[in-house]
Structure 1
């Protein structure tokens, strides 16, 4: 699929609309008390700050001409108190809004990660994992400034504009109207930039996603890269992606920074006109009530007038940037969970182990069937081996049994119960699965084995490890079961990782055990010892074993040969050899 490539831009399937901003407000709503407190604090601070230019006017027009030193000192002291209150208010605002912003970021990221835990395998099959990771980390982080400061600052500055305009009109309506002449020009400019700026940030997020996807892929495949001496070629690909991201980021930032200079230009021009008109009024005897004090105070208000405009412009920039990320964040959260509990789902009763597939059809992609009308019955305690060529659908069968995917049609029954009608958690907790990819998590070996059964004791962990012949090599490591292993178990051999994963599956004590290529990376000597433990483990337990090495499945009750979307033949090892069919040919190809 096109989306499953690092060099293909993502297509946002859910375009932005105003409802997404409302959803963002829903994340803010639990903190409305703190936000309101900060807002009141900042409004009171800003309101009091509006009197400072007025104090300057009074001093210039009255107290200084009258040489009223006492009044000047009192007014200066009052101004000092207002400034101190403003400093304390700003400090409180920074503390509160930073914490609130990070709490909101945490909640959004928690919602994304929780939803990712529930999405089916098909979601991850279609996307580079780096493109998923960038949404959880980078995109959410980029909302931080908007949530921490942008909203409060913008509301405060909008109110400041109202306060400033009231004071400015009270001082000189004529000069105020001159100041406002620049606003229509700014609005036209903003409209002109909007579409270009929004598109630029969408492109930037795409390029960031592509780069992140390739970095993640390269790290996971570093052994193959070095083995095939692909470093230089990979550097070329990385540089191309990095330069694309750089260019997209520079263009997006160019549009962001295009707003500030325009505000400054309009501010400078209007201020110049105000000086010309104001000085002219003063020369002509204070026409329109413009005095030296009024002009000085008014120019102070002008700088205060354009500062909120700058803040609002910055918020507008941040909002357009945030929109490009919100589209992808909410798209991830809204991704449908295709494999989920039915509305009337019930808990799966304790599993005995009877399994039936009834006319099951399944495909990963429309028009490309993997299983075609597959039916079979397994009795409690039986061991079923599934063999066949690569891509025939062996792993698909056990994935459907674990309900990692939904069937297209037909039914999968356990003890006569349709598994699509039961709660997924209650089903999977009674099943043990060891997949073909033996994934090891960072932590101790003990933690990795206990991963599927948190209540297991150390003795139970060790017993499971002994059963699968992992105990000896674990005890040879520096800290035994407390030895720290790296992510994906890079310190362990492939065989050791499989044995640990095997012990993890066994420790869950499942009613149904699924082993997908469980012994593919174990040496022949270990396999012989392991087989003894397996025979004891499989007694009384329904088991499905997928294997290419036929020596591990000779004792299975039934061997099913899967090919071309169906069961070609089924029977015991001896029966299938006697039939001299597909299984016979496979067996002879390995042991001739």
Structure 2
């Protein structure tokens, strides 16, 4: 998966205010929390501004009493009447500011996490309602990234970026306002240097944007090279390309190091540069302020308070540009999440009381009646597909790669919706049925076997979780699985995963066959179910399948035509349409496409 945090850091939303309004709508139940947060920010800004301003009175009062004590050669003691009350009030102002800051931080974290959870739940529900066409068009990492990285970035930016932005605005406005009250002259000097630092930040940030973008390109290139080298390591060794592959990675690493050095320098240089300008501002303000202090135009307390306000105003201003970038990136992440939530959904199942029901016992009569379908509306694949599978028949679907064999099965299972015609099961239109009830009637064994993280027994019982251990073992024996399962360390309790290298591809396929055997469905779908097993095991599985298919309608997608010569009906497909159908003998006698395909396997 791509590093979204780095790659998208400089992304900007397409429509900022539309995204903000939608986020506000999504957080409808937490609006009262936002109102309290806004009120807390206002009160925090007031108390945070009042504290340095009040410190001028504290310092002046202390300084005055110290001067009196020094003139009278007396000892200065702080009492409640003698500066104590003033210091206590000063302490309480800071306490109030800290309390409102804690309140707004707690509530904003609560709002962000609740919104994150709400959107995450909506995504989880959305993924269950999306058609397979969506997953065919999007990479798994892209979908996972929206549900994890994008939501986490949005939540973090709300907790930190948005809160920091609002607090910074309140702090800067309050600080600069009081600074003008204290001294217009010194405030103008401060604003001049602030404008200079913001200009430097803008120029450097623009250049940094270009360099970090270039760095991310090289990160993507080296990541792709490493992943390709690891995934294709056997091919690389087979063709003696180790040196060339290593050289490509080293070259990309060198370019990445060069660009990263430049990017890191510019990222880390902007802070010291801005702070250097800030120190110059402090020196100039100190010199001008000292002259005003000596001339009696400013007190010691106001002088030190002004420097507190310099810090209060300069730090937020320095961080504002970075905060804006972070918020823009977070809004772009939110847009991607909303794009996912706005994806068109598959047609909803009819209500339980209106859904078409199958008869009590499913016979397995399947009929395609003038079915039309295309993966895109402007490119139809199936134009007029019609055939009928009688109960208990073995239907073989053959054709060259890309002929539409798997598409036909996908339509039968309602993984895709047809554009015209209809498909019936025992005379019931499948489009009017609940998808769950429809798919319960089918058992599928795919060419690409998939195991879930769990024990072997759990994988076999995936479609029938209430099965007993004896039933699981019986299905495993029928699928020729039991013999190798017992050689595993913990037998049926051995944990496996889809990417586990301890189980071969053929063994995985045997486990998926056992899964279907245990489920005991009314209709079987076998998509090259024995393509990854040896010939001897294939014969044994064939006998088990023959026993299982007896009395059941079964659809078999086959490339080795010798395995389907006993089929009751063979459908020959080409470019999505059925061009021939009949028995093995009938199709050979016709000397058409099936005969050519069959004879070519023995040439």
Query: With structure 1 as the length reference, what TM-score do the two structures score?
Result: 0.81
> Do the aligned partners of 1:441 and 1:489 also contact (CA within 8 Å) in 2?
no
Deviation at 1:394, TM superposition (A): 1.2
Task: Provide the residue aligned with 1:334 in structure 2.
Answer: 342
> Do the aligned partners of 1:468 and 1:533 also contact (CA within 8 Å) in 2?
yes
Residues 4-38 of structure 1: per-residue CA shift (max 9 Å, x gap): xxxxx99x999344222333344555455556666
Match of 1:560, SS?
strand
Cα separation, partners in 2 of 1:572 and 1:214, compared to 1, 3 Å: farther
Task: Provide the residue aligned with 1:516 in structure 2.
Answer: 527
CA distance, structure 2, for counterparts of residue 254 and residue 429 of structure 1: 61
CA distance, structure 2, for counterparts of residue 428 and residue 102 of structure 1: 37
CA distance, structure 1, for counterparts of residue 204 and residue 468 of structure 2: 63
Deviation at 1:206, TM superposition (A): 7.5
Match of 1:452, SS?
coil
CA distance, structure 2, for counterparts of residue 239 and residue 108 of structure 1: 42
Deviation at 1:494, TM superposition (A): 1.8
Deviation at 1:368, TM superposition (A): 6.0
> Do the aligned partners of 1:430 and 1:511 also contact (CA within 8 Å) in 2?
yes
CA distance, structure 1, for counterparts of residue 455 and residue 397 of structure 2: 33
CA distance, structure 2, for counterparts of residue 248 and residue 531 of structure 1: 60
Match of 2:578, SS?
strand
> Do the aligned partners of 2:12 and 2:331 also contact (CA within 8 Å) in 1?
no
> Do the aligned partners of 1:353 and 1:542 also contact (CA within 8 Å) in 2?
yes
Deviation at 1:530, TM superposition (A): 1.9
> Do the aligned partners of 1:360 and 1:407 also contact (CA within 8 Å) in 2?
yes
Cα separation, partners in 2 of 1:358 and 1:488, compared to 1, 3 Å: farther
Deviation at 1:544, TM superposition (A): 0.8
Task: Provide the residue aligned with 1:528 in structure 2.
Answer: 539
CA distance, structure 2, for counterparts of residue 523 and residue 232 of structure 1: 36
Task: Provide the residue aligned with 2:4 in structure 1.
Answer: none
* Residue 158 of structure 2 is aligned to residue 147 of structure 1: yes
Moved more, 473-482 or 270-279: 270-279
Task: Provide the residue aligned with 2:52 in structure 1.
Answer: 53
Cα separation, partners in 2 of 1:510 and 1:219, compared to 1, 3 Å: farther
Deviation at 1:242, TM superposition (A): 6.9
Task: Provide the residue aligned with 1:414 in structure 2.
Answer: 425
* Residue 327 of structure 2 is aligned to residue 319 of structure 1: yes
Q: Considering only aligned residues, what root-mean-square deviation do their CA atoms show, in Å?
A: 4.2
Cα separation, partners in 2 of 1:255 and 1:429, compared to 1, 3 Å: farther
Residues 450-471 of structure 1: per-residue CA shift (max 9 Å, x gap): 2233344434333332332222
Cα separation, partners in 2 of 1:261 and 1:330, compared to 1, 3 Å: farther
Gaps of 5+ in 1: 1-8
CA distance, structure 2, for counterparts of residue 208 and residue 175 of structure 1: 47
Residues 353-396 of structure 1: per-residue CA shift (max 9 Å, x gap): 22222333444467765434322122233221111222222112
Size of the aligned set, in residue pairs, is: 579
> Do the aligned partners of 2:168 and 2:320 also contact (CA within 8 Å) in 1?
yes
Task: Provide the residue aligned with 1:452 in structure 2.
Answer: 463
Deviation at 1:549, TM superposition (A): 2.6
Residues 33-73 of structure 1: per-residue CA shift (max 9 Å, x gap): 55666666666555444344334422432322223632345
Moved more, 266-275 or 85-94: 85-94
Residues 323-360 of structure 1: per-residue CA shift (max 9 Å, x gap): 443444433343334x4337889545235422222333
Deviation at 1:545, TM superposition (A): 0.7
* Residue 365 of structure 2 is aligned to residue 354 of structure 1: yes
CA distance, structure 2, for counterparts of residue 268 and residue 130 of structure 1: 47
Task: Provide the residue aligned with 2:392 in structure 1.
Answer: 381
Cα separation, partners in 2 of 1:138 and 1:524, compared to 1, 3 Å: same
Task: Provide the residue aligned with 1:19 in structure 2.
Answer: 18
Match of 1:453, SS?
coil
**Aligned to 2:403, which of 384, 389, 392?**
392
Task: Provide the residue aligned with 1:64 in structure 2.
Answer: 63
Task: Provide the residue aligned with 1:309 in structure 2.
Answer: 317
CA distance, structure 2, for counterparts of residue 14 and residue 363 of structure 1: 34
Match of 2:581, SS?
strand
Moved more, 192-201 or 578-587: 192-201
Task: Provide the residue aligned with 1:291 in structure 2.
Answer: 299
* Residue 481 of structure 2 is aligned to residue 481 of structure 1: no
CA distance, structure 1, for counterparts of residue 152 and residue 251 of structure 2: 25
Cα separation, partners in 2 of 1:349 and 1:229, compared to 1, 3 Å: farther
CA distance, structure 1, for counterparts of residue 147 and residue 407 of structure 2: 29
> Do the aligned partners of 2:478 and 2:544 also contact (CA within 8 Å) in 1?
yes
Residues 421-468 of structure 1: per-residue CA shift (max 9 Å, x gap): 444344333322222211122221122222233344434333332332
Task: Provide the residue aligned with 1:6 in structure 2.
Answer: none
Task: Provide the residue aligned with 1:4 in structure 2.
Answer: none
> Do the aligned partners of 1:520 and 1:549 also contact (CA within 8 Å) in 2?
no
